[in-house]
Structure 1
Amino acid sequence: AAAPEAEVSEAASPEAGPSDAKAAGAGPSDAAAPPRPIRVAIVGRPNAGKSTLINTLLGEERLIAFDQPGTTRDSVEIDFERNGRPYKLIDTAGLRRRGKVSDMVEKFSVIKTLQAIEDCNVCVLMLDAGEQVADQDATIAGYILEAGRALVVAVNKWDAVDAAARERLRSELARKLHFLRFARFHFVSALEGTGVGALMRSVDRAYAAATAKLSTPKLSRSLHEAVERQPPPRRGQFRPKMRYAHQGGQNPPVIVIHGTGLDKIGDTYRRYLEGWFREAFSLQGTPLRIEFRSAANPYHDRN
């Protein structure tokens, strides 16, 4: 018999992260369902269980899922509704190592997968718990991050590995996918359906975070609180000054900060601000981009 969902699905970063209670609290996830379907691309290496996950969600064998890796060659889009909310599920061919992309069919599959990442709202990156985290997994994650897409990671076939293998895999995830700390990780069995409900709830939250509307007054107030707590480091005798912030885009959220001398702000402080805004506005599950715009300093050239 399948294990209870709570035992298999662990919606958390492989390192310490926000609690489930906080993630389920007030925030972008409380927004009403959008009129258009949420476009969810299921991506990953061949045989990770992408088609199996979709079949489980649909409750029927809509997609071919043989044991042979790579049975899905083209992207397949399926309209689907869950708890009254519409989705469009996109099943893609698995991305292989470049050396194995030897014929036109495989090259076309890679192009379709990258296109699906660009066109979707949320990516579900499928990993096989029975396999080591490979360079290809990190490469796919990099494509998703570069595209700025919301992301949920599903570690599939979790019920088929023992405790020692689980511990090793957690360490690998933390080491090789450390740049995905913004994403939630679920440990599931797509075949049995365990953990799938929690996975889809994280898809909803990631979409809500990616499309959240952030008001200029709230962003500016939060920015001032962040600076008061930890001012940007000085560069020589000058300290960058931040005036206000506004939202510059969605999916992914872009926060534009205005001030003077902001070109002198380094990556460490940028990461601090990113973490601050992510915490303040519950932006779990989506990349977040910070842009700095500096006004001319009228006193810069005066003696």
Structure 2
Amino acid sequence: MLPVIALIGRPNVGKSTLFNRLTRSRDALVADYPGLTRDRQYGNGKLGDRPYLVIDTGGLVGGEQGLDGLMADQVWVAVEEADAVIFMLDARDGINLSDEQIAERLRRSGKPYYLALNKMDGMDATAMVADAYSLGLGEAAPIAAARGGGVSALIDRVLAEVTADENAAGAGPVETKGIRIAVVGRPNVGKSTLTNRMLGEERVLAFDQPGTTRDSIYISLRRNDEDYVLIDTAGVRRRSKVNEAIEKFSIIKTLQAINDAHVALLVLDAHSGEVSEQDATLAGHIIESGTALVVVINKWDGLDDERREWFRKQLDRRLPFLDFAERYFISALHGSGVGDLFEAIQTAYQAAMIKVTT
């Protein structure tokens, strides 16, 4: 599984600056919860040949209540999701009560943590690192997120220790036979229905990966003498519950699945009448990961000609960077067009393999 690193700290300590440097992009998937104005952002990072996920969080001040308390709760959700936490400090402000309160809760979380002393440009690192010792979290790594100073060394240390911990625990990728397929998309676009429609009655194996609650389910199937593995992020376990299932959208599961798959099926909801910003961002993550892509437009059967033409224009306008990808118009509920997806998956997979080998 890809390591997940959460960035936490007071407001304006440079978390977003570090996030943008690590992901080399301002594009991020946002976990938006009703009533909250600032939540978690997720992005892909890579150090050499080692990929990882980064979570940028809202600022903590300690002792939050009301709306601020709800926002703070989302920060600690990110900590729970992460394999490691980078606690950022502002070297120009020094250590204050908020830092001490965050440090105390971070210690109680049980998560591996790393102190990063940011904005060290032109400052006495020795004195500031010594000051950070007062938090009782060990030695702080001096960095300058805006320029990149010290950042690679910090991430190298985090990844090395997280990987060592996983190896010691016996965690690793699930051994699967066949083309791995990630069915991804926004909530309620029909991922669950499509997953189970593709499985039909040929489901032969379903199991959870050992580890945390964010793990996806890997489901093996065979069709036309070809082996496939569906990576299910929607939490569908029994066909009898498909119609009643409420899809839970987990950004961590989605990004992990994209990176682990050979082919991603990006499912869009034609009935909604729009291609959203989150659709576009998900598409960008798929391209960035190098995973082969097939665009699946679901709920197509319920649209008249005028609405179909409108949605095609939306696709061209909002996703012009996907002009290379095959589009398939389907109804997961009724099954129309779903059978063609396996041929599309084979074509996308073979094309990706040619690119890799040339």
- TM-score, length-scaled by structure 1: 0.49
Which has the higher relative contact order, 1 or 2, with Cα contacts under 8 A spaced 6 or more apart?
Answer: 1
In terms of Rg, which structure is larger?
Answer: 2
